[in-house]
Amino acid sequence: MTVLINNKDLNFMLYQLFNAEELTQYSRYNEHDKNTFNSILETSYKIASEYFAPHNAKADHHEPTFDGQKVTTIPEVKEAWKHFSQAGLLCATQSYENGGMQLPVLINMASNALFMSANPASVAYPFLTSAAANVIDAFASDENKQTFLPHMLSGRFAGTMALTEPDVGSSLGDLKTRAIPQPDGTYLIKGQKMFISGGDQDITENIIHLVLARIQNAPQGVKGISLFIVPKFKTNQDGSIAETNDVQLAGLLHKMGYRGTTSTVLSFGENDQCQGFLIGEAGSGLKYMFKMMNEARVGVGLGAAMIGYRGYLESLEYAKNRPQGRLPSEKDPNSKPVNIIQHSDVKRMLLAQKAYVEGALALCLFAARLIDEHQAGSNQDSEILLDLITPIVKSFPSAYGPKANDLAIQVLGGAGYTREYPVEQCYRDNRLNPIHEGTFGIQSLDLLGRKLWQHNGKGLALLMQRFQKTLDETTVPEAKELAQIFSQHLATAQKTTKILGNAIFEAKVDQALANAALYLDMMGKVVISWLWLEMLNKAYLNFEQSQHQDDQNFLAGKLHAARYFIRWELPEIEHQAKLLTEFDNTCFNMQADYF
Amino acid sequence: MTVLINNKDLNFMLYQLFNAEELTQYSRYNEHDKNTFNSILETSYKIASEYFAPHNAKADHHEPTFDGQKVTTIPEVKEAWKHFSQAGLLCATQSYENGGMQLPVLINMASNALFMSANPASVAYPFLTSAAANVIDAFASDENKQTFLPHMLSGRFAGTMALTEPDVGSSLGDLKTRAIPQPDGTYLIKGQKMFISGGDQDITENIIHLVLARIQNAPQGVKGISLFIVPKFKTNQDGSIAETNDVQLAGLLHKMGYRGTTSTVLSFGENDQCQGFLIGEAGSGLKYMFKMMNEARVGVGLGAAMIGYRGYLESLEYAKNRPQGRLPSEKDPNSKPVNIIQHSDVKRMLLAQKAYVEGALALCLFAARLIDEHQAGSNQDSEILLDLITPIVKSFPSAYGPKANDLAIQVLGGAGYTREYPVEQCYRDNRLNPIHEGTFGIQSLDLLGRKLWQHNGKGLALLMQRFQKTLDETTVPEAKELAQIFSQHLATAQKTTKILGNAIFEAKVDQALANAALYLDMMGKVVISWLWLEMLNKAYLNFEQSQHQDDQNFLAGKLHAARYFIRWELPEIEHQAKLLTEFDNTCFNMQADYF
């Protein structure tokens, strides 16, 4: 059976690092305890390994096809969907009233992590459905909720988010899909959408698209955008399916990875028969969609972390069992070859993977805990902090997860480059993550151009408080040594932020944002270093006195990974800070004609 | 027609940067001049774009198949082979006596670059054949030469190098294939080889494998290894084909990229009928093979550079023509979107690609010029310098070419992730290059553990002389500013080398080599920075006074790319040097049980 995660580490993160049991103090979660959490995670592990992992490679080799009439996916995808929805996982975080389990987002995130490791492409269908259901639950009219929501949560209908258009890409304000008001209060939808994941499939009876469109005569830009429910098939109030709703599949896109998830070009209203239902208020579409998008962004981060994690586990297993070569000091050709995990450079490649993927997973779980604190605990500070770090939660795993997969291939060498081993698929799958739900560049503008300065900079102040708390609690000498390095580079990051902020407010915004991608990478390294320090403190607290060898090994592993990240990677921000604070204009001044 | 290279830049590199015309002073090349060079390059460009580029994607989609009896490749591969060999390119560098053109390696490398850009997988067959022919020409007996060489050079037979075995990988000293001496002076070959590129195909009448094997009772380790000619079909002295030589295709490997090139598992002598011919002396196999391997390593560097280059050109074209978004300071949603090449972060991604791929190509051409100086000019210093930098020539392009392809995908965004665009194939193809012909880790041990200290460190001294010459010749203020940054980091690299050298000679070899991969990356950045400075000097010399706008743009492009590499990338070596000189033991001390 495929190993999906280091369970000891997941337990450590949930119960020691993020104190999941504390969440049961919120009234929303007070019927839960550690037993119910663990029982849901066990169910998830079982379904993920029995129904998702086994066809991960097969769905990649046999990607969905479209014969002009109908999309066909391999039958295992539908079977997996069935087990996922029957276990109640589509509505795990929904209220009891909606038939859900009121599961904390933190535990749900851990459950999602298992599926992302097992089969990121097949689980995209249920994850998109849950996210779309959340938007409908939060903002749609009661009538629309009644029509669509129960069938999405039960697994009869799937959901998608339909934002991007062929000529628009990241620039949502320019989208052209139109919504023409009809006498009955519905809208006629007309336009084309592209890169819509799960936009067509043969898994569910119906597909509920959440479509961004511009109501006739709405203003240009983001303020003119509204959000609509657009089902593939018209749906009666009792949930039964009627005729087609004039949503045509124009074609499937053929991706390098994530092949098991259809990526579609959809035409809405080619025959002027496409009916849409406005969600909430006209002109607020982007605001509602961002609820789904922010959730999706954390989900992208989690996927990137877990595809990275899966590659790490595969390469670790290989390195432990593959004899080859000798240490440089061993000159006797008759000596026995060592397993490659003995080679320092292989240890480096494994340690870097461990530092990236465990750090990235911790970051996503941290975001989940903030969601719980905000949604179930009404903690506004947690919402503000979550808002600030969302670009980092999306981007750090998306940048370093693929790096981990690159290293996993390298550990396996020639074998890793073949489709006979699973790591090359991880590498291809993970390359999507720095692109969708806002590219790395878009996230960097969001962080440096917007998020930092909201609420008078309160998000950053809250983050700094968290850092300070961890520093104050660091007592073990091995951790203190790393805390000192962290403090020093943190000061650099703070100074850099201040200088860039001043420039933005002095209206040198193009120059100040020119190198924003460096800033996003820098802040990612700072936040992940903090999480490593926090993990190290908690690991000492829980395992230092343990007599069990596996506890001592676990602690030593955390120490070395923390050391690796803080000693090897974090100091790279000094040079980034230099370029940022000098407003280095090398890229800014480059001209198209010079290339 | 696919653009394969920036021809203005290639001309600049050949004639201004590396003064190709000067090579005609060597007697071997004295029938050549700039016209013959250019005419061969024009022919290469024509064949590469007409017969190689058009099926690059098709050969990837329809990879070679094996039905248990026979391998089938798409017919375009054989057609391309035919045009390549008929143009005399298989033996371009061979002597007139052997039917060749006595073309300088520098010009041949430029010709090869065009094919690597057009279709790296299909051109692997002729490149491997040329390399194998060179080994046979240099070391085989006259009788074997007569039997095989003319047919390899004419394109009737192909060649391969068969080193790796299933349980051996990088550790060649442990290989197990046996060679049993026969009364007639031939050998019976018995064993299995893996990852043999071009090991079977339906393109040529015969395949000549160069096989590393251990003669019965030979000592363990590398000293017991000999090299053999092992044809797929027995070959009569007149070149006609006889019965099969008991070389069985055990199977094809299915790679992530480079799919057009077969990667094979071969069984030699399953029926004790496999005849091999010893090349040169017994026990010297690795020495001979290294002639081919060093050539192959430069070839890998070139391939990595050119796959990177191809992605750069594709993403540049896309960025120039794709309107999307506005600059941060533009707040009017009714304003026209700009082409994405106007965005600073897109410029960064293009500039980084330019800096990597033009730098990497310059490095490979530099290596080619050293080969000419050594082989045609009998310059021993050039040989020593080439020997030193070969790990860098193999590894810098292999590390930074894939980075360039990663950025090319990012520039295209969602489109770049689909197989509807060519950059995802570049990304998959290029991932092979840090693995084959010696992984990055193996190259780093070769450089730091061996190459630096050969000939009493003369290679490094020669390299430093080249650096100093460039620094002395830097006069333009914009270049002097970069020269100063370069000097400062060069001092760091020199100091680091000295400290590591002392540790190795004090017998702390395992510790000193533990972080060798960092050292290889550091030296790659130093060498490429030097080449950028040298390019910049030559660009000022040739274009500063020009009245042509395209010359001024070319110069400005070189200036910005040099600035990018020297200001943005080179300073990263300071942190690498710190870890190296502190003998940071984070990775070294990590233990298998801690993971």
Phi, psi (deg, nearest 5) at residue A100: -90, -170
The residue annotated as part of the active site, out of A424, A437, A534, A569, is A437
Lowest model confidence (mean pLDDT) among A413-422, B41-50, B507-516: B507-516
Q: Which two tokens stand for residue A8?
A: 């000891």
The confidence score (pLDDT) of residue A365 equals 98
> Chain A residues with CB inside 8 Å of B416's CB?
435
Closest C-alpha among A459, A489, A508 to residue A567: A489
The confidence score (pLDDT) of residue A170 equals 74
**Averaged over A215-230, what is the pLDDT?**
93
Interface of B with A in 393-422 (CB under 8 A): 402, 406, 409-410, 413-414, 416-420
Q: Do B579 and A567 touch (CB under 8 A)?
A: yes
The confidence score (pLDDT) of residue B502 equals 95
Q: Which of B440, B449, B556 sits opposite A328 (nearest CB)?
A: B449
The confidence score (pLDDT) of residue A293 equals 82
| pLDDT of B168 above 80 | no
The confidence score (pLDDT) of residue A197 equals 96
| pLDDT of B169 above 80 | no
The confidence score (pLDDT) of residue A36 equals 97
Query: Is residue A31 annotated as a catalytic residue, yes or no?
Result: no
Cα distances (angstroms) measured from residue B191 to each of B166, B214, B222, B250: 10, 10, 17, 12
- Give, as one character, the DSSP assignment of residue B176: -
**Contact status of A439 with chain B (Cβ, < 8 Å):** yes
Mean pLDDT of chain B: 96
**Contact status of A333 with chain B (Cβ, < 8 Å):** yes
The confidence score (pLDDT) of residue B167 equals 80
Task: Quote the CA–CA distance of B458 and A67 in Å, as a whole number.
Answer: 66
Q: Give percent of chain B with pLDDT exceeding 90.
A: 92
Are the beta carbons of A45 and A89 closer than 8 angstroms? Answer: no
For B334, the closest chain A residue by CA position comes to A220
> Chain A residues with CB inside 8 Å of B327's CB?
510
Class (C level, CATH) for B157-283:
mainly beta
Task: Quote the CA–CA distance of B526 and B574 in Å, as a whole number.
Answer: 11
Closest C-alpha among B128, B286, B149 to residue B199: B128
pLDDT band at B2 (very low <50, low <70, confident <90, very high): confident
| pLDDT of B191 above 80 | yes
Q: Give percent of chain A with pLDDT exceeding 90.
A: 92
* Strand A206-215, strand B206-215: pairing: unpaired
The confidence score (pLDDT) of residue A171 equals 80
Q: What are the tens digits of pLDDT across the range B373-383?
A: 999 999 999 99
Q: Tokens 């703070």 sit at which residue? A: A494
CA A544 to chain centre: 33
Angular region, B68: left φ>0, alpha ψ -120 to 50, beta rest: left
pLDDT band at A329 (very low <50, low <70, confident <90, very high): confident
pLDDT band at B333 (very low <50, low <70, confident <90, very high): confident
Could you state, in order of their start, the residue ranges of all structural domains in chain B? 157-283, 440-595
Interface of A with B in 26-55 (CB under 8 A): none
CA A233 to chain centre: 30
| pLDDT of B190 above 80 | yes
Chosen for mutation from B223, B256, B508 (greatest number of chain A CBs closer than 10 Å) is B256
The confidence score (pLDDT) of residue B357 equals 98
> Chain A residues with CB inside 8 Å of B516's CB?
345
Q: How far is B199 from chain A (nearest CA, A)?
A: 15
Q: Do A587 and B263 touch (CB under 8 A)?
A: no
The confidence score (pLDDT) of residue A173 equals 82
For B354, the closest chain A residue by CA position comes to A595
Q: Do A586 and B594 touch (CB under 8 A)?
A: no
**Averaged over B310-324, what is the pLDDT?**
96
- Give, as one character, the DSSP assignment of residue B196: E
The confidence score (pLDDT) of residue B174 equals 86
Instruction: Name B265's bridge partners.
Output: B251
Q: How far is B91 from chain A (nearest CA, A)?
A: 30
CA B352 to chain centre: 20
Task: Quote the CA–CA distance of A185 and A216 in Å, as a whole number.
Answer: 14
Q: Do A517 and B586 touch (CB under 8 A)?
A: no
Q: Which of B350, B513, B592 sits opposite A341 (nearest CB)?
A: B592
Q: Which of A254, A517, A575 sits opposite B345 (nearest CB)?
A: A517
The confidence score (pLDDT) of residue A520 equals 98
Q: What are the tens digits of pLDDT across the range B360-374?
A: 999 999 999 999 999
| pLDDT of B1 above 90 | no
Q: Do B256 and A424 touch (CB under 8 A)?
A: yes
Cα distances (angstroms) measured from residue A338 to each of A172, A324, A344, A416, B513: 55, 6, 12, 19, 17
Q: What are the tens digits of pLDDT across the range A2-59?
A: 899 999 999 999 999 999 999 999 999 999 999 999 999 999 999 999 999 999 999 9
At B37 the three-state DSSP class reads helix
pLDDT band at A570 (very low <50, low <70, confident <90, very high): very high
| pLDDT of A430 above 80 | yes
Q: Which residue has the higher pLDDT, B270 or A166?
A: B270
pTM of the model: 0.97
Are the beta carbons of A405 and A424 closer than 8 angstroms? Answer: no
Q: What are the tens digits of pLDDT across the range B386-400?
A: 999 999 999 999 999
Task: Quote the CA–CA distance of B212 and B229 in Å, as a whole number.
Answer: 9
What is the ipTM score, two decimals?
0.97
Radius of gyration of chain A (CA): 24
| pLDDT of A169 above 80 | no
Chosen for mutation from B194, B196, B254, B344 (greatest number of chain A CBs closer than 10 Å) is B344
Burial of B505 (0-12, 13-18, 19+ CB in 10 A): exposed
| pLDDT of A465 above 90 | yes
CA A212 to chain centre: 22
> Chain A residues with CB inside 8 Å of B194's CB?
414
**Contact status of B581 with chain A (Cβ, < 8 Å):** no
The confidence score (pLDDT) of residue B189 equals 98
Closest C-alpha among A117, A136, A214 to residue A172: A214
Q: Which of A220, A325, A406 sits opposite B333 (nearest CB)?
A: A220
**Averaged over A80-88, what is the pLDDT?**
98
Close Cβ partners of B506 (under 8 Å, ≥ 6 residues apart): none
Chosen for mutation from B254, B587, B591 (greatest number of chain A CBs closer than 10 Å) is B587
